[in-house]
Chains A and B, each alone.
Chain A
Amino acid sequence: MSARLLAVITPGEEATALSSMVGLVTIARAAEAEVRLAYFRDLPRPRVDRHDRVVADTAAEMARIERTATEAIESSARVFDDVRAETVVRFGKPTREAGLEAEVYAPQIVVVFATARGLLARLRRWTLRRRLARRSDARVLVLAPTPPPAERRAPVVQSALTPPARLPARRD
């Protein structure tokens, strides 16, 4: 039986998850694991028009979000065809649903993405990690984007071709 890897994607982490797919696949290859990319979303509200008429109910919105998320995630994972990956979308409270998913799927490795900015988002992420670590026997890994390099300093040596800042006054 091959190992199982659960990648937890919560709202706000979609871009990081897509850009960190290389790292995720690297881990999956090393562990010889099959990957489940699980996207967790709050239950969507029905979409209404400007006259408050419902144009898409919750079920239709869920179907739309599921289709869009599955397409986006699978298209980025399709490049790595040597790793078995499946995408699932779960609706509900992300922290609770991720815990349930970890319990049901019973992965050996759980990967979470670190993009949270702000105190509340950090607290939510910390709760998620705690819950995942407590609920499953899996090892929790964090995939984080590399911070941008520090801004380069301006060159110290000034080019001889650079004109002086103040030209001398002309004497005619």
Chain B
Amino acid sequence: MFSDLVGLIISLSPILGLLVWRGHVDRQQHAADIVRADVHAGVTRALEGESLLAIKAQAPTAWRPGKVRLSTPSGYEPLIGRAFQTVLERVPAGYEVVIHCGGNS
């Protein structure tokens, strides 16, 4: 009886572990989506409407912090400057701001 129970637990543990891990990843992604929405709302207000400034949020993982990526087409970099303070105010701890500009933009 006991050995059956142990066998059941051992055989189910990978599936349960996977479910728990997926749940954690989903929660992190949900939090990242909220951060993205918050930053986007702030940027839209700061720039007085929709703009060419693209915002992408990546959830943090165990080995790297979350990232809020800002990018614009080439020649539109001043948009980053206008929205920069708002972004910094709204990005929570545990996230870093990555600005894509120059190079191939």
Contact = CB atoms under 8 A, between A and B. Distances in A.
B64 A126 contact: yes
B84 A146 contact: no
Interface stretch (B15-23, B25-33, B93-101): B93-101
Contacts of A126: 64
Contacts of A43: none
Contacts of B64: 126
A60 interface: no
Contact of A143 (B67, B82, B99): B99
A30 B43 CA distance: 14
A23 B98 contact: no
Contact of B77 (A22, A139, A147, A148): A22
A27 interface: yes
Interface string B81-105: 1101100100000001111111111
B78 interface: yes
A146 B81 CA distance: 17
Given A26-B81, A29-B81, A30-B84, A142 B104 contact: no
Contacts of A21: 102
Interface string B6-18: 0000000000000
A145 interface: yes
A118 interface: no
Interface residues of B, number: 21
A141 interface: yes
Contact of B98 (A19, A22, A29, A114): A114
B80 interface: yes
A147 B56 CA distance: 14
B103 A142 contact: no
A30 B78 CA distance: 9
A88 interface: no
Given A141-B96, A141-B97, 10 more contacts: A22-B102, A26-B78, A27-B84, A29-B81, A139-B97, A141-B99, A142-B99, A143-B98, A144-B100, A145-B102
Interface of A: 16, 19-23, 26-27, 29-31, 114, 126, 129, 139-149
A-B residue pairs, 5 tightest by C-beta? A145-B103, A23-B101, A146-B105, A30-B81, A20-B102
